[in-house]
Structure 1
Amino acid sequence: MLENPRSPRVRAVAKLSKRSARVETGLFLLEGPQAVREALRYVPGAIVELYATPTAWERHADIRQLVAEHEVPFDYVTEDVLDAMADTVTPQGLIAVARQTPTAVKDIFAASPRLIAICEEVRDPGNLGTIIRAADAAGADAVVLTGRTVDPYNPKVVRSTTGSLFHLPISVGGDLADVVSRAHAAGLQVLAADVGGGDLLSARADNTLVKPTAWLFGNEARGLEADARGLADQALKLPIYGQAESLNLATAASVCLYESAFAQRAEH
């Protein structure tokens, strides 16, 4: 059992809450039973090591079974050690260290996707995590991150995805113009979600949303820059029927992705 919160091993795990350490090592943190469980189910080979308090280990029989099945390295830790490793204030007894497994953007478009999300300059970890989760729920084929979008392996992003990070391909660090070009070459239209765009209901009525689509989402505060918006085939906005000033980015993205999912599934 690891008992010293100041040991080099514990400190190395704790450093993964910082981007510099994640870039240097290619590793990231998974906290809590949900994230650990989904990683064990979908990418068990990516898990480098797993740490658990005895209480948490006894509580999660399904995780014990998956760890044994995939022969994942495991150690008991004290509550103090887990607290020192964790990014959260109240960790839930389980932490894993995993390898980052991004997908090359060329491989995403080579797979003939019908629905993807492109995130350009999305900076809030909670928003990005929720968009990844919504894309997963809507049956999207991938999420592509461009520009200075927040690191998908940021602990807050990982928690916000509630495991969806491991369910669909995620591409990072792409150039938006290159990604849009690849989307067009793969037969996808690119629709920008933008407050200055046309009415989403009209696009629904004329069957625009039935086509294979890459939705383009911009920064929370500024939206899409003019040059980024100009790369899209069309810009669309969600109507606001009440008195709300605007919609949260992740909420708007969820609606857009589901509108396309509904239209495509009704057609096919």
Structure 2
Amino acid sequence: MFLVDSHCHLDGLDYQTLHHSVDDVLAKAAARDVNFFLAVATTLPGYTAMRELIGQRENVAFSCGVHPLNQDEEYDPETLRELAAHEGVVALGETGLDYFYTPETKERQQQSFRHHIRIGRELNKPVIVHTRDAREDTLSILREEKVTDCGGVLHCFTEDRETAGKLLDMGFYISFSGIVTFRNAEQLRDAARYVPLDRLLVETDSPYLAPVPHRGKENQPAYVRDVAEYMAVLKGVSVDELAAATTENFATLFHIDPSRLQKS
């Protein structure tokens, strides 16, 4: 079995008390058949620091972007373009809209979201989208900026079946995190059953949102195995089948050579 953690913040883990190093984190994941990782940035300085922390690894790819909750300071879109063009960067983001925590930066969030999609189209790299309390604006901007030209994924999906359908119509992939295992997430489980197997991804979003039975602890890439096992039951397939499908989907979306997604 080969699993991919399609969205994790490797720079945000506890390297003081829980993990000795990035190598330690990845070894714990490999012990549970999680063998490839997409390390996602939330600021431009954070992207640079994250690449220094992780270094060049055959089993880690990067995404470069500015999170909608980090719009308190302006950034230069040209710098985003330059960094996103780096070798090893397979996506723009995470980007998107979050009106739940910072509605006061709504206008800046929307402008930033548009910048990410435009650069994604220019570089032929997909966008990783975060949305919270901003469903209609998220869908509208994706359409207006012709996101179908570069593709993308709605990560850590928490919306309903209807929203999933609209994203699928745009060619989007949909990624599920540990939230799908939470007791009160029945609407989300309904959406997970609806999304076809060839458009699914699994992720941890670590260090956040650890799945049951680890809820309350710091999340880590190893726990994507728990998400995959839960999703396999929801989809009525074996975990091996779900792992194979989500790994293939990951390679397709992020233009990654499938030979990198095999155990050596």
TM-score relative to the length of structure 2: 0.25
Q: Write 1 or 2 for the structure with the bigger share of strand.
A: 1
Name which one, 1 or 2, has greater alpha-carbon Rg.
1
Higher RCO, Cα 8 Å, sep 6+: 2
